[in-house]
Every structure is written in structure tokens, then in C-alpha cells.
Amino acid sequence: MIRCIILVLTILATPLPALTQGFTPGQREEIVGILREALQRDPSILREALAALERDEERGREQAAKAAIARHADQLFRSADDPVRGNPQGKVTLVEFFDARCGYCKQLQPVMEQLLRKHRDVKLVLKDLPILGPNSLLASRALLAAQAQGKYAELYGALLALREEPTEPVLKREAERVGLDWARLRREMDDPAIAKRIEANNRLASALQIQGTPALVIGETLIPGAIDLATLERLVAEQRARQGG
């Protein structure tokens, strides 16, 4: 019966031109009548049918994400330009799309640090995705410019710990605090190559249908949102096992 309900829900959501190709008005009326009678006898059927439909949609999203990850594997896991934390030669690669102003990214950062300390075979690839406004973009440009001075990780840690807006004066203060040459950093923040890298990250996130930050990719799996250490460790262990580690 649940399969029947799902079929009817699909039918009811189908545009009329497509619908009339498969069913006559009489058949449609009969199907809706069956649905109405079933729901009167047991209203829980609708809840079960909707849950089943949601599970089907979730499976569809997971399959689409797997396909997108496979198509963009080189950009995700093997780009020489991306900043890396943890073990650069790590057996297990984890990719994080983040915004330096994102509260959930700030929440995830110390959890990720714990993971990297405990598991020395993990490589964390960081993808700047400034989606929360002009100050996010400013922070990403500063971070990527800091990479040329070998200080990306230091500035990343400082900005993810911030509890204030990363305006230019704040960026200057934090950059100098971690040992960056501010004059050089500020000049290189306007390098067109940095803008291209950010745009490439935006296109990649769009291809993966990433809707917000943080977003993690491990193996064939896309994980939206912040997760706890236990979940991270489980995902790493599963990926390690898949790779025969």
C-alpha cells in the first residue's frame, strides 16, 4: 500500500501535460479514490509513505553527490595549490569547504585539530568558500595571500578563533601577530590569481551542490554541516578500511 501512496503522491505532483500521457481522467479519479479510502482507514500510511519518499530522495542526492565527487576528484583531492593541514602525505584525505566568518566552521575547527593530532595519517585540504559577505571575501583573500609567506595555517587559526568581524584593521592586527609582512600581504591580496582560486572553489562547490559551510568531502561522501569528533573518526576509519589501511 505504501508503494501505491508514493505513486499517487508522485502523480499528484506531476504537471498536467505529462500526467495526461499516462492516465485518463477516470483512472486518475480511481487512484485518488483508493488513496482517500486507505487514508481514512489508516492515516499513518501517509506518514510512512512520505518518509519512504524522503528516503528515496535522500538516496538520489547521495548518488548525485558521489557522481559529482568522482567527476571532480582531481580538483578536490589533488590540487597542488590548496593549503593542507595534517599529514601532506596522509593516507586518508579530508576536504573542508569553509568560510572564515562561519560560526559552524569556527565550532568545527578545534574538533578538526583534535582529529589531526590523534590520527597522523589524515590529510586535510582546505577550500576557502567566502559566501557570507564582503568580510568573508576579504578574509579568504588574506588567507590565500598568506600562503605565499608560508603562514596560511597560522592566519587560519587566528581567523577561525576570532569573535569579531575580519575587517581590514583586524586582519592587519592578526596578520602581524602571526608574523606576516602586512604590506606584502595587502598587496598580494589583490592578485588576480587569488580571485581566480576563490572563483574556482565557488564553481566546485556549485558542482557538488554545496549549499553552505562547513561542508566536508571524504571518499565518495559529502557531509554538510559541522560534525563531532566521534563521527569524524568513524568516517576516517571507514575510508581507511576502504583503502585497505
Residues 105-123: tens digit of each pLDDT: 999 999 999 999 999 999 9
- Residue 68 falls within a domain, yes or no? no
Chain position carrying cell 553527490:
65
Stronger pLDDT, 22 or 70, i.e. the higher one: 70
Domain count, the chain: 2
Starting at the edge strand found earlier in the chain, the sheet holding 84-86 runs 84-86, 122-128, 92-98, 215-218, 221-224
pLDDT of 127 over the 50 cut: yes
Chain center to CA of 142: 22
Q: Which domain holds residue 102?
A: 74-242
214: preceding bond cis by omega (within 30 degrees): yes
- Residue 111 falls within a domain, yes or no? yes
pLDDT tens, position by position, 149-196: 999 999 999 999 999 999 999 999 999 999 999 999 999 999 999 999
- Residue 175 falls within a domain, yes or no? yes
Quick one: residue 209, left, alpha or beta (phi over 0 = left, psi -120 to 50 = alpha)? left
- With beta carbons less than 8 A apart as the criterion, state whether 74 and 95 touch: no
Please check whether residues 51 and 78 belong to one and the same domain: no
Please check whether residues 36 and 123 belong to one and the same domain: no
Assigned C-alpha cell, 109:
575547527
At 20, is the pLDDT very low, low, confident or very high (cuts 50, 70, 90)?
very low
- Residue 191 falls within a domain, yes or no? yes
Please check whether residues 109 and 32 belong to one and the same domain: no
Running DSSP on this structure, what letter comes out for residue 181?
-
Look up the CATH number of the domain holding residue 119: 3.40.30.10
Please check whether residues 88 and 172 belong to one and the same domain: yes
Mean pLDDT within 63-88: 92
What count of other Cβ atoms lies within 10 Å of the Cβ of residue 58? 10
The beta strand positions in 8-152, using DSSP E, are 84-86, 92-98, 122-128
Which residues, 6 or more positions from 214, have their beta carbon under 8 angstroms from its beta carbon?
96, 97, 98, 102, 104, 105, 108, 225, 226
Please check whether residues 81 and 51 belong to one and the same domain: no
Quick one: residue 2, left, alpha or beta (phi over 0 = left, psi -120 to 50 = alpha)? alpha
Please check whether residues 219 and 182 belong to one and the same domain: yes
What percent of the chain clears pLDDT 70, i.e. is strictly above it? 84
Please check whether residues 41 and 81 belong to one and the same domain: no
- Residue 205 falls within a domain, yes or no? yes
- With beta carbons less than 8 A apart as the criterion, state whether 131 and 97 touch: no
Please check whether residues 154 and 45 belong to one and the same domain: no
